[in-house]
Amino acid sequence: MIVRPARILIVNRGEIAIRVARAVRELGHIAVGLWTDNEPGAAHLAYCDEWVHLEGHGHAETYLNISRLIELARRHDITAVHPGYGFLAENDGFAEALDREGLVFVGPNARAIRMMGDKAVSKRVARQAGVPTIPGSLGAVADLAEALAIAGEIAYPVLLKAVAGGGGRGMRICRDAREVEANFEAVQREARAAFGNGDLLVEKYIVNPRHVEVQILADKAGNVRHLFERECSIQRRHQKIIEEAPSPFIGDNEPLRLDICATAVKLARAVGYDSAGTVEFVMGEDRSYYFLEMNTRIQVEHPITEEITGIDLVACMIQAALGQPVDAPPQEAITHRGHAIECRICAEDPVTLAPTPGTVTGLATAFPQGTRFDHCLYEGLEVTPDFDPMVGKLVTRGMSRAVAVRKMHAALDGLAITGLVTNIPLHKQILADGAFIAGKYSTDFIEARRPQDGIQTQADLETIYRQLASIEAANMGL
Amino acid sequence: MIVRPARILIVNRGEIAIRVARAVRELGHIAVGLWTDNEPGAAHLAYCDEWVHLEGHGHAETYLNISRLIELARRHDITAVHPGYGFLAENDGFAEALDREGLVFVGPNARAIRMMGDKAVSKRVARQAGVPTIPGSLGAVADLAEALAIAGEIAYPVLLKAVAGGGGRGMRICRDAREVEANFEAVQREARAAFGNGDLLVEKYIVNPRHVEVQILADKAGNVRHLFERECSIQRRHQKIIEEAPSPFIGDNEPLRLDICATAVKLARAVGYDSAGTVEFVMGEDRSYYFLEMNTRIQVEHPITEEITGIDLVACMIQAALGQPVDAPPQEAITHRGHAIECRICAEDPVTLAPTPGTVTGLATAFPQGTRFDHCLYEGLEVTPDFDPMVGKLVTRGMSRAVAVRKMHAALDGLAITGLVTNIPLHKQILADGAFIAGKYSTDFIEARRPQDGIQTQADLETIYRQLASIEAANMGL
Amino acid sequence: MRYYLMPIEGSEVVVDLAKTTVQTGGLVEFVFASPDGDPKGRQSTIYLRKIAGGYFTSMDGVRWTRIPRLTRSSKIVVGNQTYDLYRGYKPSGVGGAHEGDLVTQMPGMVAKIHVTPGQIVKKGDVLLILDAMKMENQIISSREGIIREIFVREGESLAKGRIIMELEALE
Amino acid sequence: MRYYLMPIEGSEVVVDLAKTTVQTGGLVEFVFASPDGDPKGRQSTIYLRKIAGGYFTSMDGVRWTRIPRLTRSSKIVVGNQTYDLYRGYKPSGVGGAHEGDLVTQMPGMVAKIHVTPGQIVKKGDVLLILDAMKMENQIISSREGIIREIFVREGESLAKGRIIMELEALE
């Protein structure tokens, strides 16, 4: 089949814009990249065929500016727009606006984005499709009696939490009816004080929760495939930093794997999904799982799925958007083989976990075979507070989890970035942690085990000497 | 299992020394690299933990100098020696000498090397093991009558060739008995004139031969696995330049694939093989195949097998040599998935195919996802006539052959090497050739289709301008 | 040649480059020492070689480690500490924050100030919210003390290393 | 500024850098021309920008192509041709091989000379075997002619660009 080259505008920056541009070019299309006034030498332009100036500084003026983006797309004769992740990737208004202009949005249809973008709607759709959601009251409970009734129904432990709450405030774990009785009024008072709203929910409390998500790949011909699952339980500030595929918690339990994947496909079908997307679940100690949300875009951690399945998700996503057959076999021929791990490399203090802007003064890599490094680093890169502190994703794959872990150790040792405080020392601590090595961890891993406490923070004279030697040698013109 | 770090000496240079060092380090061992007086800044040292000076210039003084290498190994407290490919990789004397010193040779036992290193012995062993070899007379035929008898037995076409011949001289294809009668005396005369020996062989002539080889991975516990086949029919000067896995000629014929792989395993078992190795076959139009030779080492083209099976051959080879379990599943769990292609990047004129030494003045890459580039290039590398003109191996993988080919196109476009004449333009011509795209080619592809004739050799002013602009910009300090 | 490494917080590090020797074959020997306690006793030799366009350093001439070529040398990072680097002189007015001064770790915008001058704070109290890197960052008191002076306003954008407030420790 | 590109074999290329303009934002415009026939007519503009540490060039300011940063600029390679590059002057005595001279394409050692002075050779005849890059390379006559003079001996190591023999063409 001869495919006419499409002009594809990438409305993003950093490593994901590079990843998309690589797929666009490989497919024979033309990658059109954007640059803004606060990042005129953006790294992703190096992978784009054409460079378009998107005037302005803040995100509202640039990567979130729908009318301006559509005007640029028109002016530069664009066929399709890839949003990457973040920014406008899950904005149904953007998808619709492009559609009205006759431009292709590289993502799912606007209706699917809208349905999955609203927490309440997505939960309702999931329940209707027979996808398990966290048991509990459908909204606020009327009083203590109703709370006790529901708690008894869904079984203890339960979470008593403020409807208006968030970020861990206004909630209490109750292990039995006595604790619900004891806490009900206190939580009500807290909620009223903190949020001005005393309404409470009752919800099943998931002990040692795991974050397990299923990759979906669908197309416009109605094929909905899953590409197995990922586990993303290593998080800090509720953000993932290490992901694995397959899930070590599911392990060899192939029936459970196929069950959760089939459940995800069921939801994707129910919303008429037609692109790459991810269905996120929380999984309890007892391996029961509940729908959390669906991400209607390509995700940061997509590479580990590519590594275990061999399928190029970004290329397939573009093919799907253009209405072409995707380069993936039918479901029954899709296999997962071996294991892949991703460590997110962030400009962030490995001990305090606070962002650390700075300028990259040097970069050197020496990786084992089977390493992939998707990144936007280069000598001279300024990591500013304007953008995501994630500067790269280090991915290793091996025939077993042990091999992938071994390769990740070597890959982290082989990644030297100077001039920037990064979380590489934290990754090394996590990779060396017994619970991580055993694959036995839940989402509270970092809070509970505090791997950051093991990081050496004393001024290390040997490292200082080596760096000064490098500076001296450069001054000598060596 | 806790593995005690071994000190592993790498007796090689260039890309394979880098590949080995990466595996050594990943396994937690210490990579000890050598440098010689004519390559003091050798690229592979960048991947080694320790650097040892191997005094001398020519290969005889350095990489082939067994006594000196053993002395260095002793002096630097070496546990094991990896020979890479070429140099001493298939030297049974070296393997034996190391053994006498109590050092581990990372390769098969000396007996297997010796048996497979002698053409006559290896052919006899193969026949005894029930492995098909090219049918024909066992040695010189006595006269025309015997030649006719044998030819009738093995079926036409046959090759009438001088026992002492080589390089295409002193041989004639005969399609029937009449042609044998007509040519016998002429070839005898030619052979006597050219080689001073008129003895002739009769051998089956393989029409449109394909080079198909099977990767073996064995260990000291007696496990012999195959990792499926590679096809290496794209050759120039009887040297491979493009390899693929799986073989497009075998294609979907899984019974044939399993049959040739099982045959290779049979031979490996027969010689007590205990490392990574390759059994090479020639395959005819009718898909009959015959044993050519066994390479008792890691091969240049091993990456394509790693890409389709997910198994790290070099790491496994080291584990096998150290008597450890290898990180590969049992035979029945080894799968081939998708397709991988390797293009050998050589300092060689793409039109005349002659070697082209030079100095690398610049290097830039922008590859699609799924690309692997094993190389020893860097700005300033001098490619001298002393060493192999191969400077890198560009490898792509995809879910299908079409995807791997597409990615290779993009990868070749994304590889810019300045200062050196390379065969990249030849690879682009081959990749665009209809017969190659269809996977329908035999070992005479380059001679028959002459892809090099399509290469633009005129001075291209636009390219000159761009390069001059780069030089001017560097002069301006940009 | 003396180097002064000035961190944003914590103590400065002083390093002396005592000797540079260029050997044949591109091997360079640097002898460093530090009044802050040298890892090898009095002084340490760092060997440096350039291989395949990259720098490699060694403490013993046997085991080599790659070190990126540092193209801009005004700052160096060791572990989670960033130092401003001064070659040959100790700057005045830099790194001059006093014991009790609270300094910004990253550029950002002051979203909310939770304390007032004269207020007594405990270890762990939130002093200020700084919007940076698309996140709210709580600036937390590292000890018990009295807020003496506040140098910033809500809504103000701060550079890294800016003194935010003075906190006097309590016994 | 005039550049002279001298190939080992074939014709030299002359390029004039007519104008260099540095724009804001690191964009540089170079105007080139060549008496050998410019691809765009009289002269061509090459736009250059540095992105992420790499150089990118464009002929139209729209479509950009990466070009490696050329660190040593005494030689450039275009396709399968290597040119010695001279900036501002045309060297004397370089590229001075005459029409009939046979020049080494690579350094190597003369393994065998198959012809003698005065001998008539046909197109395709092997003149000499050069050992280079671990291989025997046949140097083949590109036309019919008479060997006038041979400048090398068997066993001699030759640099690239060395004249091996003079071959006079026959009508």
pLDDT tens profile A379-415: 999 999 888 899 999 999 999 999 999 999 999 999 9
Residues A43 and A144 in one domain: no
What percentage of chain A reaches a pLDDT higher than 70?
99
Residue that wins the pLDDT comparison between A454 and D152: A454
Cis-peptide into B357, omega within 30 deg? no
Q: Do D52 and A46 touch (CB under 8 A)?
A: yes
d(CA B394, CA B243): 11
Give the three-state DSSP class for B170: strand
User: If pLDDT is split at 50, 70 and 90, which confidence band does A2 have?
Assistant: low
**How close D64 comes to chain A (CA, Å)?**
5
Q: Do D57 and B466 touch (CB under 8 A)?
A: yes
B439, amino acid identity: G
Closest CA to C105 of C145, C168, C158, C169: C158
Q: Do B368 and A329 touch (CB under 8 A)?
A: no
Give the three-state DSSP class for B174: strand
d(CA B334, CA B323): 21
Q: Do D79 and B465 touch (CB under 8 A)?
A: no
Question: Is residue B318 in a domain?
Answer: yes
Residues B186 and B229 in one domain: no
Least confident of A448-457, B469-478, C129-138: C129-138
The per-residue pLDDT for D94 is 41
| CA B381 to the chain's CA centroid | 23
**How close B473 comes to chain D (CA, Å)?**
8
Q: Do B368 and A19 touch (CB under 8 A)?
A: no
b/e sequence B249-275, b meaning 16+ C-beta within 10 Å? bbeeeeebbeebbebbbebbebbebbb
Rounded to an integer, the average pLDDT of B321-334 is: 97
Least confident of B208-212, B406-410, C23-27, D51-55: C23-27
- Treating both helix axes as pointing N-terminal to C-terminal, what angle do A313-321 and A14-26 enclose, rounded to 10 degrees? 70
Cβ atoms of A388 and C134 within 8 Å: the answer is yes
B420 touches chain D (CB under 8 A): yes
Three-point CA angle B150, B152, B156, nearest 5°: 105
Residues A305 and A396 in one domain: yes
The per-residue pLDDT for D95 is 40
Residue that wins the pLDDT comparison between B208 and D135: B208
B437 touches chain A (CB under 8 A): no
Sheet containing D135-140: give its strands across: D135-140, D126-132, D108-113, D157-158
Rounded to an integer, the average pLDDT of C85-92 is: 74
- DSSP lists the bridge partners of residue A157 as none
Cβ neighbors of A429 (< 8 A, separation 6 or more) are A350, A451, A452, A454, A455
Closest CA to A373 of A392, A351, A354: A392
Catalytic residue among A297, A372, A397, A401: A297
Residues A146 and A198 in one domain: yes
Question: Is residue B113 in a domain?
Answer: no
d(CA A113, CA A275): 11
Best of B20, B25, B26 to substitute, by most chain A Cβ atoms within 10 angstroms, is B26
> Rg for chain A (alpha carbons), in Å?
24
Closest CA to A380 of D82, C46, D52, B313: D52
Cβ atoms of A216 and A273 within 8 Å: the answer is yes
Average pLDDT over chain B reads 94
Q: Give the strand pairing for A80-82 and A7-10.
A: parallel
Residues A293 and A387 in one domain: yes
The per-residue pLDDT for C86 is 87
Cβ atoms of C168 and C102 within 8 Å: the answer is no
Report the residue of chain C nearest B18, measured CA to CA. C52
H/E element, D58: strand D54-58
d(CA C128, CA C131): 10
A364 touches chain D (CB under 8 A): no
pLDDT surpasses 70 at B66: yes
C25 touches chain B (CB under 8 A): yes
- Check residue C161 and give left, alpha or beta (phi > 0: left; psi -120 to 50: alpha): left
Q: Which residues of C touch A361 (CB under 8 A)?
A: 68, 70-73, 75-76
For tokens 């990896």, name the residue.
B82
A residues 361-400 lying closer than 8 A (beta carbon) to B: 366-370, 397-400
Cβ atoms of B292 and B277 within 8 Å: the answer is no
The per-residue pLDDT for C100 is 61
Query: Which of A187, A204, A221 marks a domain boundary?
Result: A204
User: If pLDDT is split at 50, 70 and 90, which confidence band does B114 have?
Assistant: very high
Q: How far lies B228's CA from each of B231, B262, B263, B264, B300, in Å? A: 10, 9, 11, 10, 16
Between A and C, how many CB-CB pairs are < 8 A?
180
| CA B105 to the chain's CA centroid | 20
Rounded to an integer, the average pLDDT of A307-319 is: 98
Clarify whether B124 is annotated catalytic: no
Question: Is residue A76 in a domain?
Answer: yes
- Treating both helix axes as pointing N-terminal to C-terminal, what angle do A14-26 and B401-413 enclose, rounded to 10 degrees? 110
- DSSP lists the bridge partners of residue A214 as A229, A279
Question: Tokens standing for B262?
Answer: 């099982």
Q: Do A45 and D51 touch (CB under 8 A)?
A: yes
Rounded to an integer, the average pLDDT of A242-267 is: 98
User: If pLDDT is split at 50, 70 and 90, which confidence band does C144 have?
Assistant: confident
Question: Is residue A312 in a domain?
Answer: yes
Query: Which of B204, B227, B253 marks a domain boundary?
Result: B204
User: If pLDDT is split at 50, 70 and 90, which confidence band does C105 have?
Assistant: low
Q: Give the strand pairing for D101-103 and B50-53.
A: unpaired
pLDDT surpasses 80 at C101: no
Residues A253 and A400 in one domain: yes
- DSSP lists the bridge partners of residue B415 as B365
Q: Which residues of D touch A380 (CB under 8 A)?
A: 52-53
User: If pLDDT is split at 50, 70 and 90, which confidence band does C165 have?
Assistant: confident
pLDDT surpasses 50 at C6: yes
Q: Which residues of D touch A42 (CB under 8 A)?
A: 51-52
Rounded to an integer, the average pLDDT of B198-208 is: 91
pLDDT surpasses 80 at C135: no
Sheet containing A104-105: give its strands across: A50-53, A30-35, A7-10, A80-82, A104-105
Closest CA to A75 of A18, A29, A9: A9
CATH of the domain at A414: 3.30.470.20
Residues A219 and A272 in one domain: yes
Residues B227 and B197 in one domain: no
D residues 90-119 lying closer than 8 A (beta carbon) to B: 105-108
A466 touches chain B (CB under 8 A): no
Quickly list DSSP for D100-130: TEEE-SS-EEEEEE---TT-EE-TT-EEEEE
Give the three-state DSSP class for B180: helix
Instruction: Express each pLDDT in A351-384 by its tens digit.
Output: 999 999 999 999 999 999 999 999 999 999 999 9
Residue ranges with strand state E in B324-463:
339-346, 358-359, 362-365, 371-375, 382-383, 390-398, 415-418
Residues B318 and B197 in one domain: no
Instruction: Express each pLDDT in B386-414 by its tens digit.
Output: 888 999 999 999 999 999 999 999 999 99
C22, amino acid identity: V
Q: Which residues of A touch C3 (CB under 8 A)?
A: 468
Q: Give the strand pairing for A169-174 and B50-53.
A: unpaired
Longest Cα–Cα distance in chain D: 65
d(CA A396, CA B22): 13
C67 touches chain B (CB under 8 A): no
**How close A40 comes to chain B (CA, Å)?**
15
Residues B150 and B215 in one domain: no
The per-residue pLDDT for C80 is 86
pLDDT surpasses 60 at C171: no
The per-residue pLDDT for B167 is 57
Question: Tokens standing for A300?
Answer: 């940061």
Cβ atoms of D154 and D130 within 8 Å: the answer is no
d(CA A250, CA A228): 11
Question: Is residue A61 in a domain?
Answer: yes
Cβ neighbors of B104 (< 8 A, separation 6 or more) are B6, B79, B80, B81, B98, B321, B322
- Treating both helix axes as pointing N-terminal to C-terminal, what angle do B313-321 and B302-309 enclose, rounded to 10 degrees? 100
What percentage of chain D reaches a pLDDT higher than 90?
23
- Domain range for B54 is 7-106
Q: Which residues of B touch A311 (CB under 8 A)?
A: 399
d(CA D100, CA D147): 10
Residues A275 and A403 in one domain: yes
Question: Is residue A127 in a domain?
Answer: no
Query: Which of B176, B204, B232 marks a domain boundary?
Result: B204
**How close D75 comes to chain B (CA, Å)?**
7
CATH of the domain at B182: 3.30.1490.20
Question: Is residue A42 in a domain?
Answer: yes
Question: Is residue B436 in a domain?
Answer: yes
Cβ atoms of B196 and B132 within 8 Å: the answer is no
The per-residue pLDDT for A196 is 85
**How close B40 comes to chain C (CA, Å)?**
8
CA end-to-end distance (rounded Å), chain C: 41
CATH of the domain at B101: 3.40.50.20
pLDDT surpasses 70 at D97: no
d(CA B308, CA B336): 5
Best of C50, C51, C56, C60 to substitute, by most chain B Cβ atoms within 10 angstroms, is C51
Report the residue of chain C nearest A417, measured CA to CA. C68
Residue B74: how many other CB atoms lie within 10 Å: 12
H/E element, D62: none
Rounded to an integer, the average pLDDT of B321-325 is: 97
Average pLDDT over chain A reads 94
d(CA D71, CA B475): 9
Catalytic residue among B172, B210, B230, B297: B297
Number of structural domains (chain A) is 3
- Treating both helix axes as pointing N-terminal to C-terminal, what angle do B14-26 and B313-321 enclose, rounded to 10 degrees? 70
Closest CA to A420 of A387, A391, A447: A391
Between A and B, how many CB-CB pairs are < 8 A?
89
Closest CA to A229 of A286, A299, A321: A299
Quickly list DSSP for A124-163: HHHHHTT--B--B-SS--SSHHHHHHHHHHH-SSEEEEEE
Q: How far lies A165's CA from each of A198, A366, B175, in Å? A: 10, 47, 88
Residues A292 and A416 in one domain: yes
